[in-house]
């Protein structure tokens, strides 16, 4: 490498890599994080191996000099390879992937303090409604002006005004305070035989410091967490870092508690809810190796760990590991690739592994480790189907008599119950009885969903909201609007009508939107302050409540409509997971699954417990149709605010589809959400044999085309739903 010249990927530029002159006295290497000039601006970038990235050749004398080398550890080679692989595989710009590694570039300057703001408790002389609102909502919170403004729902200027008025003060926060090291010997459990055997395999793999992908397939409540904690303990003893990926930030709080009980200190958390100062402190500690255990959402995958020793993906089947915006990657798959490049073990833990993961185990690529029984005296719950045709709920209600009777029994015995319905809000659709008008989102092909608790209709795709209408906008009829179908709020109302004294809690992303809210919910459950939980998929994950003994699945048929490739699999996973919340302690659990189709394979598998045949049938169907993991898919989504423009661009792409053996192109056709956030969407689906490098074909195909500026073309490689 020419020492006076550096090839740099700029984080926030649409251009490819650029060459710069390295000024005297500055020493850079691949991975160095630098500040570089571009036009009148200065941008953060990362130095890369010139031989790995092509750019336009520029003579030495025309090069501009780098401005600064940051006082930060350079990104290591395995991470650089991961970034290249991700960009290549998911057909994303390398700068976009790199941004995930650097988290927030503005947070990277050399200073080790950040100025944050917090309320002083002093009341300003002049009080406007906005100021009152700001002070109320800020409470004990601390953060940048921007962060406080966002939290309070006011403009930055209001916060600055309050600073001038003395109601908010500046505080200096140090961002390199060390994190305490978790202690592997703090409070280890006594493992059961099967758990010990599983743990031993992981411990050995951590010791070996080699790539080893594991599928930890253990029924709900079998102690998967305890078992992979042993692998973390080993990694800690070796002084190496561990990354634990969780599907949902709402889950980090219970995880932190459990982790702390086992290891004496909290791990370092990484998720979108962090303040900038927390983010900066965590980033540094990760890069220096001081953050020994990091637990995070999928974005934690691209951080610059100094000496990673182990990766765990918990609830690995979860769909939220698939990122659907920006770089469309699957965190589970990237985690395996990172482990491979870093040469460390990776554990995918799940009670209901994805067919893809099971297949990898089947062909011997992943090592399968099984925990077939629940820990201790806990037994698997008894699952029964409630035939809604034989045993229907009364008119206008959704809980069948059998389920109501079981709820009553649980209330009498002082045990907790959970009703699962994967639908937020009160009703999924609002209809005018007089003229048939339906409330639709103006920006999306979707109904406006009534949320009665906050008194509005909301679009679940773009966030558009409107006040609940009193009369029909089409026929002007009053009191003619009726909610159609149930959401969790409506089920909660039904429960209240039947059991007025039962203490209820609704658990959805509307009520549990932060780790603190999740902690509050867990606390109330553990204290026995809740009798009946009504929740969406958010409650199906990871929770452990020993006194929860009854689960009712309100509508098991919901996930099966739509004809999506993964509908049956996802439905099975969801119901098995929510069923897995029942009877985790000493008392046995019962699960009632309400359905119109008790004979459907998914329901039969759940009731009989014969999950193997179900998985086998699903796998065979996929194999027969050469669908993933036996074949490959990619979706090309073309969108524009102008419907015609989107259609034309889609037709152009369809017309120019290359004729390649082992590949077929379907469409264009309107995408499943034909309009989303005001953009019209067309889609082409590429189906190819596994042996084909479908990315290469798409890259060449789309690379030769141009489209109008308002058109966006996004490729989703290995799409989850389509």
Q: State the residues that interact with Zn ion by CB under 5 A.
A: 441, 443-444, 459, 461-462, 464
Q: Which of these segments, 183-191, 232-240, 495-503, 685-693, binds ligand ADP (CB under 6 A)?
A: 183-191
If binding is defined by CB under 6 A, does position 195 make contact with ligand ADP? Answer: yes
Angle of helix 145-152 relative to helix 129-138, nearest 10 degrees, comes to 100
Contacts of 551 (CB under 8 A, 6+ apart): 381, 417, 418, 419, 420, 578, 579, 581, 582, 589, 590, 591, 592
Contacts of 282 (CB under 8 A, 6+ apart): 268, 269, 270, 274, 291, 294
Q: Which of these segments, 116-124, 215-223, 235-243, 249-257, binds ligand ADP (CB under 6 A)?
A: 215-223
In the bound state with ligand ADP, the residue whose beta carbon lies nearer, of 544 and 651, is 544
Asked if residues 488 and 506 have their Cβ atoms less than 8 Å apart, the reply is yes
Asked if residues 524 and 545 have their Cβ atoms less than 8 Å apart, the reply is no
Contact partner, 243, from Zn ion, ligand ADP, none, Cβ < 5-8 Å per class: none
In the bound state with ligand ADP, the residue whose beta carbon lies nearer, of 190 and 395, is 190
**Binding track over 356-395 against ligand ADP, x by CB under 6 A:** -------------------x--------------------
If binding is defined by CB under 6 A, does position 430 make contact with ligand ADP? Answer: no
In the bound state with Zn ion, the residue whose beta carbon lies nearer, of 191 and 448, is 448
Residue nearest to ligand ADP (CB): 223
Contact partner, 304, from ligand ADP, Zn ion, none, Cβ < 5-8 Å per class: none
Contacts of 154 (CB under 8 A, 6+ apart): 130, 133, 134
Q: Which of these segments, 10-18, 89-97, 188-196, 681-689, binds ligand ADP (CB under 6 A)?
A: 188-196
**169 burial type by CB count under 10 A (0-12 exposed, 13-18 middle, 19+ buried):** middle
Nearest distance in Å: CB 226, ligand ADP: 4
Torsion angle, CA of 534/535/540/545, rounded to 10 degrees?
A: -40
In the bound state with ligand ADP, the residue whose beta carbon lies nearer, of 7 and 224, is 224
Question: How far, in Å, CA of 368 to CA of 292, rounded?
Answer: 26
Nearest distance in Å: CB 357, ligand ADP: 16
Contact partner, 504, from Zn ion, ligand ADP, none, Cβ < 5-8 Å per class: none
The candidate with the shortest Cα–Cα distance to 447, out of 422, 433, 426, 477, is 426
**Beta-ladder partners of 265:** none
Nearest distance in Å: CB 218, ligand ADP: 5
Question: How far, in Å, CA of 529 to CA of 407, rounded?
Answer: 16
Q: Which of these segments, 41-49, 191-199, 238-246, 713-721, binds ligand ADP (CB under 6 A)?
A: 191-199
Contacts of 194 (CB under 8 A, 6+ apart): 371, 372, 373
Three-class SS string for 492-515? HHHHHHHCCCCCEEEECCCCCCCH
Nearest distance in Å: CB 543, ligand ADP: 9
Query: How many CA atoms, within 13 angstroms, populate the side-chain half-sphere of residue 37?
Result: 11
Nearest distance in Å: CB 223, ligand ADP: 3
Q: Which of these segments, 218-226, 305-313, 654-662, 674-682, binds ligand ADP (CB under 6 A)?
A: 218-226
Asked if residues 99 and 33 have their Cβ atoms less than 8 Å apart, the reply is no
Q: Which residues of 669-705 are buried (b: 16+ CB within 10 A; e: fewer)?
A: ebbebbbbbebbbbbbbbbbeeebebbebbeebbeee
φ, ψ for residue 476, nearest 5 deg: 65, 10
In the bound state with ligand ADP, the residue whose beta carbon lies nearer, of 73 and 189, is 189
For ligand ADP, which residue of 544, 587, 651, 677 counts as binding (CB under 6 A)?
Answer: 544
CA distances from 719 to 90, 204, 213 (A): 10, 35, 23
For ligand ADP, which residue of 17, 31, 184, 218 counts as binding (CB under 6 A)?
Answer: 218
Nearest distance in Å: CB 613, ligand ADP: 23
Contact partner, 191, from Zn ion, ligand ADP, none, Cβ < 5-8 Å per class: ligand ADP
In the bound state with Zn ion, the residue whose beta carbon lies nearer, of 443 and 547, is 443
In the bound state with ligand ADP, the residue whose beta carbon lies nearer, of 226 and 569, is 226
In the bound state with ligand ADP, the residue whose beta carbon lies nearer, of 224 and 271, is 224
If binding is defined by CB under 6 A, does position 48 make contact with ligand ADP? Answer: no
If binding is defined by CB under 6 A, does position 277 make contact with ligand ADP? Answer: no
Question: How far, in Å, CA of 28 to CA of 4, rounded?
Answer: 9
Check whether the bond before 308 is cis (ω within 30° of 0): no
If binding is defined by CB under 6 A, does position 192 make contact with ligand ADP? Answer: yes
**232 burial type by CB count under 10 A (0-12 exposed, 13-18 middle, 19+ buried):** buried
Asked if residues 113 and 173 have their Cβ atoms less than 8 Å apart, the reply is yes
In the bound state with Zn ion, the residue whose beta carbon lies nearer, of 319 and 443, is 443
Residue with tokens 């661009």: 649
Contact partner, 444, from ligand ADP, Zn ion, none, Cβ < 5-8 Å per class: Zn ion
| Structure tokens given for 136 | 């109320």
Question: How far, in Å, CA of 138 to CA of 436, rounded?
Answer: 44
In the bound state with ligand ADP, the residue whose beta carbon lies nearer, of 74 and 223, is 223
Nearest distance in Å: CB 131, ligand ADP: 46
Nearest distance in Å: CB 251, ligand ADP: 11
If binding is defined by CB under 6 A, does position 225 make contact with ligand ADP? Answer: yes
Contact partner, 267, from ligand ADP, Zn ion, none, Cβ < 5-8 Å per class: none
If binding is defined by CB under 6 A, does position 221 make contact with ligand ADP? Answer: yes
Contact partner, 461, from Zn ion, ligand ADP, none, Cβ < 5-8 Å per class: Zn ion
In the bound state with Zn ion, the residue whose beta carbon lies nearer, of 21 and 461, is 461
**Site size for ligand ADP, by CB under 6 A?**
15
Q: Which of these segments, 168-176, 178-186, 222-230, 703-711, binds ligand ADP (CB under 6 A)?
A: 222-230
Question: How far, in Å, CA of 683 to CA of 647, rounded?
Answer: 9
Q: How many residues does the chain have?
A: 722
Using CB under 6 A as the criterion, which residues of the chain lie in contact with ligand ADP when the complex forms? 189-192, 195, 218, 220-226, 375, 544
């Amino acid at each position: 490498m020419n020492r006076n010249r550096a090839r740099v990927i700029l984080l926030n530029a649409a251009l490819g890599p650029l060459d710069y002159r390295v000024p005297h006295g500055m020493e850079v290497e691949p991975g160095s994080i630098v500040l570089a000039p571009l036009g009148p601006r200065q941008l953060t970038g990362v130095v890369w191996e010139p031989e790995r990235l092509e750019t336009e050749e520029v003579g030495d004398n025309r090069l501009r000099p780098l401005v600064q080398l940051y006082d930060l550890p350079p990104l290591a080679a395995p991470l650089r390879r991961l970034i290249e692989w991700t960009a290549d595989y998911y057909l994303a710009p390398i700068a976009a992937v790199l941004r995930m590694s650097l988290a927030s570039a503005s947070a990277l300057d050399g200073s080790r303090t950040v100025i944050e703001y917090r309320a002083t408790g002093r009341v300003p002389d002049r009080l406007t409604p906005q100021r009152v609102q700001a002070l109320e909502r800020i409470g004990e919170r601390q953060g940048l002006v921007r962060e406080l403004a966002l939290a309070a729902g006011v403009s930055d200027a209001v916060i600055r005004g309050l600073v001038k008025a003395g109601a908010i003060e500046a505080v200096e926060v140090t961002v390199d305070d060390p994190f305490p090291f978790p202690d592997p010997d703090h409070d280890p459990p006594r493992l059961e035989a099967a758990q010990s055997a599983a743990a031993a395999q992981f411990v050995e793999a951590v010791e070996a410091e080699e790539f080893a992908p594991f599928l930890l397939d253990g029924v709900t409540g079998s102690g998967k967490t305890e078992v992979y904690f042993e692998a973390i303990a080993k990694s800690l003893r070796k002084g190496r870092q561990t990354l634990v990926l969780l599907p949902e930030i709402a889950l980090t709080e219970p995880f932190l508690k459990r982790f702390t009980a086992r290891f004496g200190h909290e791990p370092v958390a990484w998720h979108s809810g962090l303040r900038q100062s927390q983010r900066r402190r965590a980033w540094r500690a990760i890069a220096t190796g001081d953050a020994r255990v990091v637990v995070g959402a999928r974005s934690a995958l691209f951080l610059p760990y100094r000496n990673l020793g182990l990766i765990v993906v918990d609830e690995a089947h979860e769909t939220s590991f698939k990122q659907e915006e920006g770089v469309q990657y699957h965190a589970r798959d990237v985690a395996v690739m990172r482990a491979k490049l870093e040469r460390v073990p990776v554990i995918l833990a799940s009670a209901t592994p994805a067919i893809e993961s099971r297949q990898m185990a089947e062909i011997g690529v992943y090592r399968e480790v099984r925990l077939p029984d629940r820990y201790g005296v806990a037994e698997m719950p008894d699952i029964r189907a409630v035939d809604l045709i034989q045993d229907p709920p009364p008119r206008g209600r959704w809980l069948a008599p059998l389920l109501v009777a079981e709820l009553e029994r649980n209330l009498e015995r002082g045990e907790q119950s959970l009703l699962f319905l994967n639908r937020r809000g009160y009703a999924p659709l609002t209809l005018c009885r007089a003229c048939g008008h339906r409330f639709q989102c103006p920006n999306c092909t979707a109904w406006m969903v009534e949320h009665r608790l906050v008194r509005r209709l909301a679009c679940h795709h773009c966030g558009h909201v409107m006040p609940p209408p009193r009369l029909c906008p089409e026929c002007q009829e009053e009191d003619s609007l009726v909610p159609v179908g149930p959401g969790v709020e409506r089920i909660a109302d039904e429960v209240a009508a039947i059991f007025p004294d039962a203490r209820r809690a609704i658990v959805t992303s509307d009520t549990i939107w932060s780790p603190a809210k999740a902690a509050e919910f867990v606390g109330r459950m553990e204290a026995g302050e809740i009798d009946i939980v009504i929740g969406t998929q958010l409650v199906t994950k990871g929770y452990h409540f020993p006194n929860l003994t009854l689960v009712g699945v309100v509508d098991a048929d919901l996930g099966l409509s739509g004809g999506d490739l993964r509908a049956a699999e996802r439905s099975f996973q969801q119901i098995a997971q929510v069923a897995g919340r029942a009877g985790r302690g000493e008392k046995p659990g019962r699960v009632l699954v309400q359905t119109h189709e008790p004979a459907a394979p998914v329901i039969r598998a759940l009731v009989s417990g014969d999950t193997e045949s179900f998985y086998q049938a699903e796998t065979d169907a996929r194999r027969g149709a050469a669908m993933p993991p036996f074949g490959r898919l990619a979706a090309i989504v073309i969108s524009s605010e102008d419907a015609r423009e989107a259609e034309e661009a889609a037709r152009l792409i369809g017309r120019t589809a290359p004729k390649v053996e082992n590949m077929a192109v379907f469409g264009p056709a309107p995408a499943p959400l034909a309009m989303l956030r005001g953009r019209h969407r067309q889609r082409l689906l590429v189906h190819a044999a596994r042996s084909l490098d479908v990315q290469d074909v798409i890259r060449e195909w789309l690379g030769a085309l141009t489209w109008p500026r308002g058109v966006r073309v996004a490729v989703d490689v290995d799409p989850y739903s389509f």
